[in-house]
Amino acid sequence: MGKIAVLGSVNMDIVITTGRMPKVGETIIGDQIDYFVGGKGANQAVAAARFGGKTTFLGKIGQDTFGEKVYQHLSEEQLDVRSVAQEKNIFTGIASIFKLPQDNCITVISGANELVDREYVDQVAHQIIESDVLLVQIEIPVETLQYALQLAKENGVTTLLNPAPYHDIVGELLPNVDILTPNETEFAALIGKELIPEAEMEETILAWQQTHTTRLIVTRGSQGVSFVESDKLVTVPSSKVPVVDTTGAGDTFNGILAAALSEGMSFKEAVILANRGAGLSVQKLGAQTGMPTRAAVIASEH
Ligand code: RIB
């Protein structure tokens, strides 16, 4: 079993299910409200742990009821949360999520996630160095990411960056990133475009990979997942499943990918399993609710 350290955010997701977004200045009546533990960091850690990776989550909560709830929830997963720090006088991160019939809209208020700093990385450095894979996203300060990725790289730990939400720092982080997993929008931003036409996506991925050593995997929603192997583009198609909620699908992909790679699985096999896991995760409401166990991912093969 491989060891994974996930450094990142944890949020309380407040999910409002509604038929449509209100217009500016308008009030509408929604259908349902749910509270789920989320945050890209915590979600990815849960996905890795459910897949069977020996996973440590590194992040911060605030001194409030949500902080206690998310800590309790994470403790009930097969996760090492002993280094999660509680900060005084600040609230736990919150994500306000509008779940619409066609997709979702998310606004994150960072709270304690903003206080995940270099000093914290120093305190948990041994957890990072002892891991096979360090997995990070961009819901904590970018200076912290820069510092943690460098520490991991210097110590021979495989580094995986999920560049979400996108930030212009990504290009600068690349020398310390082994694997980069943008979605199509984030990949377009990385190459300085607003959008890459679908017909140009494959050649754009190939061209980027030819000039970079960081291994690129572009997650493409219903199109599947694309990467380059032996100078050829490989696209692993998405499974055709009933979609209830896509929140956390990318997190499931990243968590399983990290766990699979940490145990020495081949790159292609790890991508295939991570993609299947993401397909299972979208079948329930909430980022973590539908995240599968390893057994469920393997069983979904047939
Ligand atoms: O990727 C989904 C996550 O993004 C949600 O759980 C929310 O907390 C935001 O961080």
Verify whether ligand 1 is closer than 6 Å to residue 106 (CB atom).
Answer: yes
Verify whether ligand 1 is closer than 6 Å to residue 38 (CB atom).
Answer: yes
Give the span between the Cα atoms of 215 and 196, in whole angstroms. 19
Per the domain annotation, does 83 fall within a domain? no
Residue 228 tokens read as 């380059």
- Is 251 a catalytic site residue? yes
Contacts of 93 (CB under 8 A, 6+ apart): 9, 10, 11, 12, 39, 62, 108, 109, 110, 111, 112, 113, 139
Per the domain annotation, does 105 fall within a domain? no
Q: Please, which contacts does 264-272 make with residues 24 or more away whose CB atoms are closer than 8 Å?
A: 264/2, 267/215, 267/227, 267/229, 268/229, 268/234, 271/217, 271/225, 271/227, 271/236, 272/236
Catalytic-labelled residue, pool 80, 132, 178, 251? 251
Per the domain annotation, does 17 fall within a domain? no
CATH number of the domain to which 54 belongs? 3.40.1190.20
User: Given its phi and psi angles, is residue 9 left (phi above 0), alpha (psi -120 to 50 degrees) or beta?
Assistant: beta
Give me the domain span that covers residue 257: 3-9+40-60+114-299
Per the domain annotation, does 79 fall within a domain? no
Split into its structural domains, the chain has a count of 1
Contacts of 165 (CB under 8 A, 6+ apart): 108, 138, 139
Q: What pLDDT is stored for residue 302 in this prediction?
A: 56
User: Could you list the mean pLDDT of each consecutive 10-residue stretch along the chain, which spans 302 residues?
Assistant: 96 98 97 98 98 98 97 98 98 98 94 98 98 98 98 98 98 98 98 96 98 98 95 95 95 98 98 97 97 97 64
Verify whether ligand 1 is closer than 6 Å to residue 47 (CB atom).
Answer: no
CA neighbor of 112 nearest in space, from 183, 29, 42, 34: 42
Per the domain annotation, does 77 fall within a domain? no
Residue 224 tokens read as 């599947």
Distance of CA 124 from the midpoint of ligand 1 (Å): 23
In testing the pocket of ligand 1, which one of 11, 140, 166 has its CB within 8 Å of the most ligand atoms? Answer: 11
Contacts of 185 (CB under 8 A, 6+ apart): 166, 195
| Cβ–Cβ under 8 Å, residues 104 and 40 | no
Per the domain annotation, does 179 fall within a domain? yes
Q: What pLDDT is stored for residue 170 in this prediction?
A: 98
pTM tops 0.85, yes or no: yes
